[in-house]
Structure 1
Amino acid sequence: MDYIEKLNRVIDAQRKNGYVKTPKGEKIGHVPKLAPLAYNIQLSQKLDFSLINSLEKRLQREIPPAYKRFLMEYSNGLHFYFSLNLYGNRDGLLDRSGNEVIVWDLQDLNRFERPKNSSKDVIFIGTYSYDASKLYIDCATNKVHYCGRYDATSLKEWDSFETMMSEEIDRIYALFDEDGYLTVNSSEKTPYKIE
């Protein structure tokens, strides 16, 4: 099963806990014990060619093909169980009303939050909520790496974006009960324990 099928199955299972469609996305898996407006999964509307092009111009680089496909064919970023956050294009989407889906911007992650020892050949695509540790794609190999917040040294590696997503969906989903609440210590939400 590919990662899109896995993600869709998780989303379908969480719809029973509530969901909200907004003009620019969807929130799935309401968890009101965490906060009145908390949802475990947030998806934003897909990007079209003009929004991808404007994002690449701002980044001054091309987005790796597998990640570009995700942004254009599935969602402009992803928030998955207050654990994994994938970034997209926030241009024109900022809304603090509480009703819209949050999109964090790839440019911020790659310009302002980029570890100093990172290679210019990598593009950062996401973070983990627990400690702001990061995910990046090595554009030369298309491998995905996990690293700390301030240090780009690879702590875990996946052969591709698709493999990382498939494994992380399974791993993170297993940490929560059917109602969408965490059943383990929050530190387990990252793929590698940083000492």
Structure 2
Amino acid sequence: MGRFADLIRQHVSRYDHLGTETASNGAVRTGYVKHIPGGAWLHATFPPLNEEKIGRMVQLIRRRLPQELREFYLDANGFNYMLDTFVVTGLPEGNVRAPNAPPMPYHIETLDKQERPRDAKADMVFFGAYDYDLSRIYMRENDSRVFYCTYDSAEPIGEWPSFYDCLSSEFARIDRLRDKNGERFDLEGSPLPFGRK
């Protein structure tokens, strides 16, 4: 298990007491909550990609992955964090989502190609988003930094020095919005980074 898998596990395991479930494709859902109508899982994490699948991802988006992002995908094929508050896309096994099908990550191709901001530069790789307003994160092919921007413009609002720093700080920040049972108790805190409301 690599450092990204360790970091993800460290944070999602706070909700192990609410239940865990491993799907047939190896996806793990953690933290079943009943305060959401119909019930819901707080987190979903997806098993790592191998080099062949990473190569397929690169072919789909037609961009090279920054080294740290490639390292991440060797640890995890994306995740859905805290009821999709924060999502890192991956490479799903197929395009069909059925109620009884195993969970799959959101597709990086959707974020990086189909919903790409018009002012995005060719070397920008869009791979993460916030459910609240669909703002997103991206990296540049030869840059270790992670940038945060709105849905419709790649102009950065803020940045982290690395992807590991981004995940570490965002997990901790989002965790502070909810109690041990996954219920939101900080109603003033924003689900978005850099003080955005």
User: Under a length normalisation based on structure 2, what TM-score does the superposition of the two structures give?
Assistant: 0.89
Displacement of 1:30 after TM fit? 0.7
Aligned to 2:81: 80
Aligned to 1:12: 13
Deviations 1:156-190 (A, max 9, x none): 10111011011111111111100011223387111
Cα distance in 2 for partners of 1:193, 1:114 equals 24
Equivalent positions of 1:21-170 (< 5 A) are 21-24=22-25, 25-73=27-75, 75-82=76-83, 83-92=85-94, 94-170=96-172
Contact 1:41 1:81 in 2 (8 A): yes
Displacement of 1:105 after TM fit? 0.9
For the residue of structure 2 that corresponds to 1:136, the secondary structure is strand
| Deviates most, 22-31 or 179-188 | 179-188
Cα root mean square deviation, aligned? 1.9
Cα distance in 1 for partners of 2:30, 2:37 equals 14
Displacement of 1:92 after TM fit? 2.7
Change (3 A) 1:71 1:37: farther
The one-letter code sitting in structure 2 at the alignment partner of 1:89 is L
Q: Which runs of 5+ in 1 are unaligned?
A: none
Deviations 1:28-69 (A, max 9, x none): 011121133411110112111221111111111221121111
Cα distance in 2 for partners of 1:90, 1:164 equals 23
Contact 2:177 2:189 in 1 (8 A): no
For the residue of structure 2 that corresponds to 1:184, the secondary structure is coil
Aligned to 1:179: 181
Change (3 A) 1:69 1:186: farther
Change (3 A) 1:179 1:110: same
| Deviates most, 131-140 or 97-106 | 97-106
Q: Which runs of 5+ in 2 are unaligned?
A: none
Contact 1:130 1:186 in 2 (8 A): no
Contact 2:20 2:32 in 1 (8 A): yes
Contact 1:130 1:187 in 2 (8 A): no
Contact 2:176 2:186 in 1 (8 A): no
For the residue of structure 1 that corresponds to 2:53, the secondary structure is helix
| Deviates most, 177-186 or 111-120 | 177-186
For the residue of structure 1 that corresponds to 2:74, the secondary structure is helix
Contact 1:3 1:169 in 2 (8 A): no
